[in-house]
Each structure stands twice: as C-alpha cells, then as structure tokens.
Structure 1
Amino acid sequence: MNSSVSEQIAPVPRISLQAFCETPEVAQTVRDAITDRRMERAHVKVHMGGAAAAIEAYRTAATPNVIFLETAASRDDLIIYLETLAEFCDAGTKVVIAGRTNDILLYRELMARGVSEYFVAPFSVLDFVRTISHLYTGSGAGPVGKVIACTGAKGGAGASTLAHNIAWSVARDLEIQTVLVDLDLGFGTAGLDFNQDPPQGIAEALFAPDRVDANLIDRLLSRCSDKLSLLASPATLDRTYDFPETAFDAIIDILRVSTPCIILDLPHLWTGWARRVLLGADEIVLVAAPDLANLRNTKSLLDTMRAARQNDGKPKLVLNNIGVPKRPEIAINDFAKAVDLEPTATIAFEPKLFGTAANNGQMIAEVEPTSKVNETIAELARIVTGRTEVRKAKRNLLDPFISRLGLSKAS
C-alpha cells in the first residue's frame, strides 16, 4: 500500500509484541508491518498456531506488552480461548484480535472482556500499524503532532530558507501552532533568519539526554510569534556534534505530544541520526537545483526513501533557483523524468528578494507579500499540512522568467 498522502500515525513506543497467526497471509502482513518506520522501536515476534499456540506459550513464559491473535474460531470457542489465556496474562498486557466475523455484538463482548482491539482479517500493513499505535495514543491522548522534514539534495539548494518560510506560513497563514527545529548544529541559520539570538537551544537537550522532558524543551524554545517557536541550533564550533542514531528521538517525541506541526530543518549530511530523523518524518520536502549533481543526489535520496517508506506518500520535490542567468540547467521535465517524480513546486531565481530577506532577518512574506515566491511557499505550507490537494497545473517553462520580470500571465 502506498498512499498518495502520507497518513499521520504516531510511532509505536518501545514495546514487546508477539503475534500468533493462523494463515501465512496474515503472518506476512505482520512481518511487513515490522519494517514500517513507525514500528521500528517495537520488538516483534511472529508465530503460527493462533490462539491455541499462544495459550501453550504463556503457560510457562511471561506475556509481552501486546499479544496479537488471528483466529477463525466461532464466538463460543473464541471466548473459551480468551478465558484460558486470561489465566496466564500478566497485568497490563494488551490483547488484539483479528477475526473473520464483522459483528458489532461480538466486538462489544470482546471489549467488555478486556480485549484492547478487534478488527477483521484480511487487513493491510497500515491497518495493523494504526491499530497498534492507537493502543498507546488513541484513548484520552492529545493530538499527534505532524513532523515535516526539509532537506536539500545538495548544499546550497535552499532547503533551510524554504523550511523557515514554510514554518512561518504554517503558523501565520494557517494559524497552526508550529515549532521549527534547526538541526544544523554547527552552521544553522534559523536564528539569523528570524532575527533571534537565544542563549540556549537544542544542544542543551542533546548534551544532557537524561534531563530531557517537556519542561526542558519548553524552556529552550524561542518565541518568534504567537504561533511559531524556534528550537535553535548553537551555530558555534566550540565542540563537535557527533551523536548516536537515536539522539533526537526523545526531543521529537515530546514535541509531537505538545505541538501540532513540527518542521525540521535538516543539514545536508548523511549520518545515522540524520538518516533516522529524515526517514521517520511524516512528510519530507526535498529541495534541489536543476543541475547534474542535484539530480544524482535527488535520485539517490528518493531511492532510499522509497525503499524505507513503502507505506508512505511520495516526498514533495521542490526545484529551486530556476532561471539563473547564463547558467545551463536541466529542463524541469527532464529532471522529473530522471527521478520519476513530478515537482510539487518550482521556485524562480530571485536573488534580490531572497538576499533582502536573509540580510534583514525577515521572511519572504514580510519583504514582498504579493510575490509569486510567497504564493508558492503558502501553497507548499497547505500541502505539507494536508490542507489542500496538490494542484497539477500546466507548467510553462517561461514562468520563472516571467516572475523575475514582474509580469503576469494575463499581461
């Protein structure tokens, strides 16, 4: 299953799960689900034999956090299985059942007997992931924040600038509480772009992982507006920033609970933590310029994303700096064909506009709110937050040049 729009499902926490299946098809679906990015923290084992095998297994062994049972048993036999299994279940163990009967009365009876969830087989990978996730985030939990990662295919592609402006648009235009996280620890520019100089930032949490909690993260946030906060990078070189692969997990998990939209400004590097953060995001914005090195890197990144995110929607490709005078460029259609992905947006080369914004510590919307670039950024903000469908307008290759001249198509 590969949805055109990435579904927002919270990552499953570090749990143990044992599945007892009756059919090879369901067992394979569970095995496929284990490879989903949202299940990577869970420790899962798949067994055959259904409910009878589960009962035998737990006569002499402790039960895991979650037991998943596939069964084609009748209602009466299923109740007997559950009563027997209950004799061996540890307190706190959750039981999820996939049956063959779509019966609301059976569902209610199972819920009354302490079953955590019941759904009907066959089911998809995302059905399984969603069900396990909701065991820990559904009942009584707050909304799950959406994580949007912005990265460049090559250094200088403009991913940071785009990330900052998208965050501004999400907060201002869509009125969504947003946190922008600058992950370029040594050279991040978010503080400069928002004219902020916070004394503390994300490094304080990274270098004291045992102290990371919601209160600490809240203290480290710098407020840019009523609905936009910044978790700034130190942007200093007084120490190195080598982190383990899971270094950012706790920070992102805390932000998910408290903030509807989290935008990650990822540096152009390939470490264990950078790969994990990028591939673990709900949405990915990949920014590239129309040259050969960007095309090669874009193809490599997209191949990696497709292999690791088979149950997610396509990344949003943005071709930036279109129409640089006297610079040979790869045509937009040729670039799209080579990477097998149509750009979600193209942005013209506008050195004066972007330069003025950067030097003044302003966003594009503050410098020139009526510009074509600002319209594109606002549309991207709506797309990555799920507020609009992607508009597949006919592309005019002269658009970037027309925009630079300040002319409208109707003129």
Structure 2
Amino acid sequence: MAKAHLKMNMGGIAAAIEFYRDAPTPNLIIIESRMSAQELMAALGDLAEHCDANTKVAIIGHFNDVWLYRELMRSGVSEYTVAPLSLADVLRMISELFMDPDKGPIGKSFAFVGVKGGVGASSIAHNLAWTLSQNFELETVLADMDLAFGTANINFDQDPPQGISEAVFSPDRLDEMFIDRLLAKCGDHLSLLAAPSTLDRAYDFSADAFVQVIEVMQRTAPHVVLDIPHVWTAWAKATLIQADAVVIVATPDLACLRNAKNLVDMLRRNRPNDSTPYLILNQVGMPKRPEISAADFSHALDIQPSAQIPFDPALFGTATNNGRMIGELQPKHPISQSFNEIANMLTGRVAATTKKNSSKLGGLAGLIDRLKRK
C-alpha cells in the first residue's frame, strides 16, 4: 500500500455518486452501505453512470445475503463483504483484487514514437505523462528509453543519479522495490525513469531487453508512458508491438507521411487484435512550409488524427527552458486542452462535463457495461 492514495468521504453511496459527477474515478472505490438489497442494486446503477470502465467497486454491506452477493457479482461488482472488517481484512481484499497473478497488470503502457527525427514526439510524451498524472491523480511513470540522448530529465528539471540504464543492465535485480529506488519524483503522482544521456557506452540491446522493465512498472503504476527514440532496432520494434497503445507523432510533410504509412502497416500486421495506433500531427502551421493536409494524412493511413498541435516554438521553448510542462505554464491554452483530450482518449476516460451530459444507460445495464470490463 506504499503507493496507494486514499480519499475518504462520509455519506455512503449517495455521496459517492455526487462526488464522482465532477471527479475522475480511481482504480478502486470501496463503499460501505446499510441499504437493502433492492435499494443497493438501484443505487449502484446510478453510480455506474459516473464510473470509468476500468474502475473496480467493492461493497462493504451489513446483510449476509447470498442472493445479494450473487446479483452483485453478476452485475460486475468486484467484491462484497459483510461488516465488521479489520484492517487486515481490508488489505487482504485489496490485495486479492490487484495482486492476482492470473490477472493482467494494473497499468497500461502508452508508447510514443516519432516517425522522423525532430517531430516532437518526446515533448508530446512528456506533456501527456504530466497531464495523465494531474488530471486523474493516478500514479504515472515516464520511461525515457533514449539512453544516449534522452531529454526527459531536462524537460522536468531533474538530475537523478540513476535511471533506466540501471534497470535494463540489471535484469536479475528487477522488482518493484528496485524500480522504485530508480524513480525520480516529478510531482505528487508522476515519476521519471530517466535516461543517462551519456555516450560512455554503446546501448545495444536484445529484442526482449525492456520487456521485464515495462512489466515491473505496470505492476506498480496505472499509467506507464514510454518515450521511444527514433530508431529501428529489435527492442524498439518489440516494445511497439507489445505496448497497450501506440501513439505516432508526425509533422505534416511527405517524409513523415511515408514513414507513418510504413509504421502503421507494420503495426497492423503484428497487432491484428489490438487497438489502432493513434496519430498526432505536430508543428502544424509552420510559416512558409508547404504542408500535407490532415485529410490527406487520414486518407493515406486510414486513421483520423487524434490531435493537431499547432507550431508554437515560443511556448514549447519557454516550457523547456524552465523545466515545466505546457499545462503548468498555461493551463487554459488550446494546446493544454488538446493534451487533456488526448489523455481522456488514451485512458478511455471522459471529462466531467461529458459525464454529466451523456445519456444514461440506466440500472444494471450501466453497471454491467462500466464496471465489469477490466
């Protein structure tokens, strides 16, 4: 529980419904309720309207009712237990929900890659990592995988003595505690696994060199952002294929279109059952540069761009020179809003205003749809 963040609110399920109308839901909501079986089932349907798809719900009730337990399990509730509970009981319940070796890891990995050098993929990845940690208040790890020339430590004004190189060169020591010692804190919910950014040695790795590192990070954090350099090696290809989501960053020019087409085709061949890569067009509207339109990009790749980030060297340069993210400097700027939208899209979460205006699924249908999926 060392990395757990806890918020406690009085008022039971009614207070939970009211609170999560305007707040992102966490990995786990634990509700204590004295409601009857019928009242509880109806109230959970209302709560489901404001829950994100990956949120687990555990109920602490006061009725030892077999029918209620079966209905809750059938509806997608993760756990139902009867009060009173000891501290050990609560810890055991949480451990069983998240530490089951037969279940997938807690975290999802988002791999960011530029199709050409200088397209700004690292800047996009760093800003998205910060946005994920701020908007959803969930632990986020940013891994700078460009060991020779990584810039994450500069962009976050950090100078950690250790980082990702110690992890990848010490596979026999890899576990959650070892990774935790290598992380540099960049905020309440954001940690950085920094690159050494030195040329003291050659960084040649096998195809599976980073697999274990990523798996360990996913066991400790809901969001893992991978900043992959513009290289084409066995490990870079393997990382892209195995990531939960791939974000391709390109500028609107011919070379990027060709490279993006090759990359998308490769990913579709090797990830037939995974989500389609996301496409971000960066540095749009650069003065005096002929550009390929977003519509032409979309037609060639059969992917609609998820965002178009305008060319704004002054804003990005100021942020870099001050070791800050765009959202820290100008949270109301349209580019900051674009990062918010991309973060919502990657995680499957919706903004609070969208939640309140969305059509309700109603009753147990909403509960099944939103709580059962993991």
Residue 122 of structure 2 aligns with an amino acid whose one-letter code is S
- Give the equivalent residue in structure 1 for 2:9: none
RMSD: 2.1
Say which of 294, 297, 305 aligns to 2:256.
294
| Match among 291, 294, 315 for residue 353 of structure 1 | 315
Alignment partner of 1:158 is 2:116 = no
Question: Displacement, 1:366?
Answer: 1.4
Q: Which structure exhibits the higher relative contact order, with contacts defined as CA atoms closer than 8 Å and separated by 6 or more residues?
A: 2
Maintained 8 Å contact 2:105/2:215: no
Query: Could you tell me how far apart the structure 2 residues matched to 1:145 and 1:369 are?
Result: 26
The whole-number CA distance in structure 2 between the counterparts of 1:140 and 1:300 is 36
Segments of 4+ in structure 1 off by > 4 A?
136-143
Work out the CA distance in 2 between the residues paired with 1:315 and 1:345: 13
The alignment's TM-score, normalised by the length of structure 2, stands at 0.66
From 265, 285, 288, give the equivalent of 2:247: 285
Conserved in 1, the CA contact under 8 Å of 2:307 and 2:338? yes
Q: Distance between the aligned counterparts of 1:326 and 1:142, measured in 2?
A: 49
How many Å apart are 1:174 and its aligned residue? 1.4
- CA distance in 2 between partners of 1:178 and 1:313 (Å): 21
Unaligned runs of 5+ in 2: 1-97, 355-374
Q: Secondary structure at the match of 1:173?
A: helix
Give the superposition deviation at 1:338.
Answer: 1.4
Deviation at 1:144, TM superposition (A): 2.1
Alpha-carbon separation, structure 2, partners of 1:382 and 1:214: 27
Q: Kindly indicate whether residue 148 of structure 2 is the aligned counterpart of residue 181 of structure 1.
A: no
- Residue 312 of structure 1 is matched in structure 2 by 274
Q: Which amino acid aligns with 2:240?
A: L
Taking structure 1 as the reference length, the TM-score comes to 0.60
CA distance in 2, matches of 1:143, 1:163: 21
Q: CA deviation at 1:138?
A: 5.1
CA separation of 1:142 and 1:335: change in aligned 2, threshold 3 A = closer
**1:322 corresponds to 2:322:** no
Segments of 5+ residues of structure 1 without an aligned counterpart are 1-135, 392-411
**Equivalence map 1:266-285=2 (5 Å):** 266-285=228-247
**Of 240, 245, 249, which aligns to 2:202?**
240
* Distance (Å, rounded) in 2 between the aligned partners of 1:141 and 1:330: 44
Q: Which residue among 204, 209, 216 is the counterpart of 1:254?
A: 216
Cα offset for 1:140?
Answer: 7.9
Match of 1:148 among 107, 110, 115: 110
Q: CA deviation at 1:388?
A: 3.2
Letter in 1 for 2:177: N
Q: Alpha-carbon deviation of 1:137?
A: 7.2
Task: Please give the alpha-carbon distance, in whole angstroms, between the structure 1 residues aligned to 2:121 and 2:263.
Answer: 14
Residue 294 of structure 2 corresponds to 332
Is residue 386 of structure 1 aligned with residue 345 of structure 2?
Answer: no
Paired position in structure 1 for 2:172: 210
Q: 2:319–2:329: 8 Å Cα contact kept in structure 1?
A: yes
